[in-house]
């Protein structure tokens, strides 16, 4: 999390919204072999207190995760910011980005909870892609589905700390923020430019 408090989202639900919409995270934890990371689709509970995911058994992280304190990071849009976009020549380049960190203890899910997680994930994302009819595990051979789920382990992270960073030039005056947004947009990062214009407008002089 960025140490500058100007880069904290003011909207209470923004971090949860980003996690739900992006739906994919890097999961970090310490292991006896050193720090390890895995990447997985995630499901945030309705009340924002738990995050579920599953990992292949072969990940270096998987066998050490149950009972460990873990960090899940959801990355939003990001882009390089050229110092030439500022009026003041005494500036340096930087990077604007969105990142949501969630920390907590990880527990292993039982088989029923893992299957429920997979069903929820497929229902959610099949609806998003507009599949008609949507895929469900009912289309699979049950024995093959069971064999494939045996190759993964489900986890739940009970979130004890949220650390969101929404670094969108909020610490710059409005005119400079707009120049940066225009530069970012011209470089092909339209989503980040839109976020800058939406979230940065109430922080002049921060």
119 — phi, psi (to 5°)? -65, -45
Annotated domain spans of the chain: 5-81+96-169
Per-residue pLDDT averaged across 94-119, rounded? 97
Q: What percent of the chain has pLDDT over 70?
A: 97
Per-residue pLDDT averaged across 164-169, rounded? 94
Read off the pLDDT band of 205 (50, 70, 90). Answer: very low
What's the topology of domain 5-81+96-169?
Answer: Pnp Oxidase; Chain A (2.30.110)
pLDDT digit string, tens, across residues 131-155 = 999 999 999 999 999 999 999 999 9
In this prediction, residue 200 carries a pLDDT of 59
In this prediction, residue 202 carries a pLDDT of 47
In this prediction, residue 199 carries a pLDDT of 77
Per-residue pLDDT averaged across 45-70, rounded? 96
In this prediction, residue 198 carries a pLDDT of 86
Q: Does pLDDT of 16 surpass 80?
A: yes
């Amino acid at each position: 999390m960025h140490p500058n408090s100007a880069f904290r989202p003011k909207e209470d639900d923004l971090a949860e919204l980003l996690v739900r919409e992006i739906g994919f995270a890097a999961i970090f934890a310490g292991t006896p072999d050193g720090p390890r990371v895995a990447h997985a689709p995630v499901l945030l509970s309705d009340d924002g207190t738990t995050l579920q995911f599953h990992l292949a058994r072969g990940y270096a992280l998987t066998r050490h995760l149950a009972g460990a304190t873990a960090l899940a990071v959801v990355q939003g849009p990001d882009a390089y910011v050229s110092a030439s976009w500022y009026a003041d020549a005494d500036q340096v380049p930087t990077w604007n980005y969105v990142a949501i960190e969630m920390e907590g203890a990880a527990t292993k899910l039982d088989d029923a909870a893992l299957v429920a997680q997979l069903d929820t994930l497929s229902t959610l994302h099949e609806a998003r892609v507009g599949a008609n009819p949507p895929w469900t595990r009912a289309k699979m051979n049950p024995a093959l589905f069971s064999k494939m789920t045996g190759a993964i382990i489900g986890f739940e992270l009970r979130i004890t700390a949220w650390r969101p960073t929404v670094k969108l030039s909020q610490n710059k005056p409005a005119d400079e923020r707009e120049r940066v947004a225009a530069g970012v947009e011209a470089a092909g990062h339209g989503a980040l430019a839109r976020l800058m214009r939406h979230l940065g407008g109430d922080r002049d002089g921060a």
